[in-house]
Amino acid sequence: MARLDGNTAIVTGATSGIGRGIALGLAEAGATVAVNYPPFDGESDRAAAVVNDIEAGGGEAVALEGDVSDPESVEAMAEAFTAELGVPDVVVNNAGIVTQSPLAEMSVEMWDDVVDVDLRGVFLVTRAFLPGMLESGGGSVVNVASQLGIKGAEELVHYSAAKGGVIAFTRALAREVSPDVRVNAIAPGPVETELLGDLSEEWRAAKEAELPMGRLGEVSDVVPTAVFLASDDGAYYTGQTLSPDGGDAMH
């Protein structure tokens, strides 16, 4: 199994779902993990619960508040991380939201909300940590995209566009900062998390029917890919998008 002993890592949106799973996986592999959470009611308690779970398993973790869509909040978060843990070895951009609407009925606010978190947030967080990583001469950025950034989906144009942007961001930045910093993406298929809660049952049923593997994914299907890309086991990977998606977007 890939190891990250002595590494420090930050995972954005790490209080639930894929982010929580990745935070636990990185900690299990030996990294000290900053569990990022947004400044919303109840999120600090959820972050504390993730920290407790990591510590109960013998790992080390801290909770770190920050709104990934807000430049000042991200800068403050980066400063707090650096003060406590130094320059990160691993940055996982996981924070994301999804809503559902036909484009003809979509408000500008709905479009902006999704793009601000899912794409702008990746830019802001990476920009905040990248100078230190380049100066230290190494590190790994792992961006959580989506298979919909490859194939698209009706009533999810804003989400598909944002996640497609994450994949393009990953490829471009990998060319810019290699070989010092590796930049890769994960494009999971639909995974059983709270993020699917706002999507209709009709959508879920149709998706299960079209997946070659015949089921929605689990968080445990995604975490090993993140740990692999973060670790030296993935040392020859950069600019890549790996897809634990049950065969949804074959490419």
Give the residue numbers marked as catalytic. 159
Ramachandran sector of residue 90 (left: φ over 0; alpha: ψ -120 to 50; beta: rest): beta
